[in-house]
Every structure is written in C-alpha cells, then in structure tokens.
C-alpha cells in the first residue's frame, strides 16, 4: 500500500494512477480525509445524476403503463437472465 499526501498526489498523479492500475492500493491523505484510488472496472457502473433521473422516469412510465394494462412487465427471472447474457 502506498500512502501519499494530497499535494504529492497532485504533483505526481500519473505515477499514482499507474500504481493503482497495477493493482496496488493508493491512499491519498488530505485535510478532507483519506481516499483510496482504485481503477474502474468493466463491472462498475458509472451514472451521472441526469442519466439516473432519466432511467427512473422510464421505469416509472413502464409501471404506469403496466397498471393501465398497456404493457406487460418482465419477470425477475427474465431480467436476471438478461443481465447474465449481457455480461457474457
């Protein structure tokens, strides 16, 4: 594990990002607290606030249409199988 100050991290960002990329823990200590730097993997999901709000609006619309009889919702098993298929 590599522990660095915020100042050192800012001065040598590329170096510490490379260390984290190689799998070693990088901890940045600052006045605001301590933070661990880790690479984002293909299994991580990064969503901004606007995208999340749009996804939730779409989900609510699906439920509304289902309650009105205009749409049939997928079963939990179907959704799980979709997730498994998308990860293969």
Going residue by residue through the chain, which has 88 residues, state the pLDDT in tens, using 9 for 90 and above.
999 999 999 999 999 999 999 999 999 999 999 999 999 888 888 888 888 899 899 999 999 999 999 988 888 898 888 888 887 6
Calpha distance 17→55 (Å, rounded)? 31
**Lookup: tokens for 31:** 């006045």
The pLDDT value given to residue 13: 96
Degrees (nearest 5) of the Cα angle 22, 43, 34? 55
Calpha distance 17→36 (Å, rounded)? 11
């Amino acid at each position: 594990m590599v522990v660095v100050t915020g100042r050192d991290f800012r001065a040598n960002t590329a170096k510490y990002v490379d260390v984290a990329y190689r799998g070693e823990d990088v901890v940045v200590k600052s006045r605001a607290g301590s933070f661990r730097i880790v690479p984002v993997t293909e299994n991580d999901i990064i969503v901004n606030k606007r995208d999340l709000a749009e996804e939730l609006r779409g989900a609510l619309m699906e439920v509304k249409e289902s309650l009105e009889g205009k749409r049939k919702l997928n079963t939990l098993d179907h959704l799980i199988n979709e997730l498994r298929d998308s990860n293969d």
